[in-house]
Structure 1
Amino acid sequence: MTAPTVVLVHGAFADASSFAPVVADLLDDGITVLVPPVPNRSLSGDAAYLSSVLASIDGPVVLAGHSYGGAVITVAGVADNVKALVYLAGYALEEGESLGELQGRFPDSDLAAALRYTPYPVDGSTEPGTDVSVDVAKFPAIFAHDVDPDLARVLAVSQRPLAAAAFGEPASAAAWRTKPAWGVVASSDHTINPDVERFGYQRAGIRTTEIDSSHLVMLSHPREVADLIRTAIAAVTD
């Protein structure tokens, strides 16, 4: 099989730059990488956008998603050219399940008390949408306690919010049912309760690695994340 393209999908409160050290590691190894920007407007819309990106790729794909990006790859990962999934401190939803439903099975993380809500205009509607972000002052401790403090403060003021509607939208598919999958539990995660990650992975039969990390595992442990992606590549490459 042709060597796959690695597509990295960021989550809420982050953007494509959060994968920078992982991208550099993979590129140095001669691996083709793509990191598309996710709109973070709705689960169905974000998955549809990612599906269009996947359709533009000629050849197989290893699809990796961080945090909310895990929910997005769960839906979009049913694309024929996706050969493997990698979840990074992510949501492995069941078909018909929402982020809120999965999280609701477990105690809240520290994130719940640090969320901020801001209206934004919605095209064609007189009613505004609601953007969800993390209190800037609390962001480093909740999201990135093991990331360089100078970087964490930059990330805190450059968040890509998630529309509140995405939390209640059910997943229309569960790609892990038909695709091999690997996952990282960030065991010191204060953004997602690590038990949410563990439960989703165990239910889906995802091969799981635990890393003592903040939510931003790809920034604090980029080599381990890149190595896991290489493991997925090797497993689906002849």
Structure 2
Amino acid sequence: MMSTFPTIVLVHGMWHGGWAWERVATRLEDAGYPCVRVTLPGKERAPGDPTFRGHCDHLVEVLARIPGDVVLAGHSYSGALLTEVGDAPQVRAMIYVSAFCLEPGESVASVNDAEAGSQAGKDDIRQVGDYLVIDPETARHAFYHDCTPADATSASGRLTPEHAGARVAVISRAAWRTVASHFVVCTLDRACTPEVQRMMAARVGSSSELESGHSPMLSMPDALVQTIIKFTKEHMS
């Protein structure tokens, strides 16, 4: 049994914010796990450097303020952040939720665009100035097709522009090589196909599957929380 509960740090994907993790955080906190929902810097989001490097620095700063052990959970794009800076001293485990578990030299774009099938790939998003935007209707189909209509409408209406450099930023390190990591494959995902996810999941050697679209934190938070707690207990005992 764990003597203390680690803090679960929840990091969102592109265009989203800490709000995406609200249901998961509430359930984890009810189970005794303190949570930090990160909102990354970005236009119409949190202040600060909106680039990939800025996101990495922001996550490092968040982690440095947390006393005790941490388990990192990242969704989609933020898997790249976990990969780059997730080996901070207090991080005991990482959980990739349909997230980009990359090798050095790869980017979110290089991996997601290499295989056909994504409905949130380079042809489905628009660049406006220095930012990428995804239209609400595209997001509904790519991210939330298995959510309730109300949840899909609400979430797609809260999306904010993402700095274009975030998607093409190349990873230089692979924290999952030294930090215990688990990959949650979402088998109904239309944004990052199950085939691409399973390729990345094979890298970490520990994975499970949810019959979910791209956003299980909204569509099936109970099942996702069970997965997070199970892996956390295995690596904090």
> 1:212 — aligned with what?
211
Count of aligned pairs between the two proteins: 227
AA of the residue aligned to 1:212: E
CA shift in 2, pair 1:173/1:2, >3 Å? farther
Q: Do 2:92 and 2:180's aligned partners in 1 also have CA atoms closer than 8 Å? A: yes
> 2:98 — aligned with what?
89
Q: Do 1:44 and 1:171's aligned partners in 2 also have CA atoms closer than 8 Å? A: no
CA RMSD of aligned residues (A): 1.5
Q: Deviations over 1:37-71 (max 9, x none)?
A: 11253222211110110011111100000000111
Matched, 1:106 2:115: yes
Q: Do 1:16 and 1:37's aligned partners in 2 also have CA atoms closer than 8 Å? A: yes
Counterpart selection for 1:8 from 10, 22, 33: 10
Decide which moves more: 106-115 or 223-232.
106-115
Measure, in 2, the Cα distance between the counterparts of 1:69 and 1:177.
Answer: 17
Unmatched segments (≥5 aa) in structure 1:
120-128
Measure, in 2, the Cα distance between the counterparts of 1:158 and 1:104.
Answer: 25
Q: Deviations over 1:141-192 (max 9, x none)?
A: 2210111111211211210322111122111221110011111111111111
Measure, in 2, the Cα distance between the counterparts of 1:214 and 1:204.
Answer: 21
AA of the residue aligned to 2:98: A
Unmatched segments (≥5 aa) in structure 2:
43-49
Measure, in 2, the Cα distance between the counterparts of 1:52 and 1:75.
Answer: 14
> 2:70 — aligned with what?
61
Measure, in 2, the Cα distance between the counterparts of 1:82 and 1:219.
Answer: 25
Measure, in 2, the Cα distance between the counterparts of 1:53 and 1:134.
Answer: 27
CA shift in 2, pair 1:195/1:161, >3 Å? farther
Shift of residue 115, structure 1, vs aligned partner: 1.1
Q: Do 1:91 and 1:196's aligned partners in 2 also have CA atoms closer than 8 Å? A: no
5 Å matches for 1:1-238?
A: 2-39=4-41, 41-112=50-121, 113-119=123-129, 129=130, 131-205=131-205, 207-238=206-237
SS in 1 for 2:232: helix
Measure, in 2, the Cα distance between the counterparts of 1:145 and 1:100.
Answer: 22
Q: Do 1:6 and 1:33's aligned partners in 2 also have CA atoms closer than 8 Å? A: yes
> 1:123 — aligned with what?
none
SS in 2 for 1:110: coil
With normalisation by structure 2, the TM-score equals: 0.90
Q: Do 1:2 and 1:59's aligned partners in 2 also have CA atoms closer than 8 Å? A: no
Measure, in 2, the Cα distance between the counterparts of 1:186 and 1:105.
Answer: 19
Identity of aligned residues (%): 33
Q: Deviations over 1:87-136 (max 9, x none)?
A: 111100112221122224311412234312222xxxxxxxxx2x112112
AA of the residue aligned to 2:170: P
Q: Do 1:89 and 1:217's aligned partners in 2 also have CA atoms closer than 8 Å? A: no
Measure, in 1, the Cα distance between the counterparts of 2:54 and 2:200.
Answer: 22
Structure 1 residue ranges, 4+ long, deviating more than 6 angstroms after superposition: none
SS in 2 for 1:35: strand
Measure, in 1, the Cα distance between the counterparts of 2:201 and 2:51.
Answer: 23
With normalisation by structure 1, the TM-score equals: 0.90
AA of the residue aligned to 1:140: R
Measure, in 2, the Cα distance between the counterparts of 1:58 and 1:114.
Answer: 41
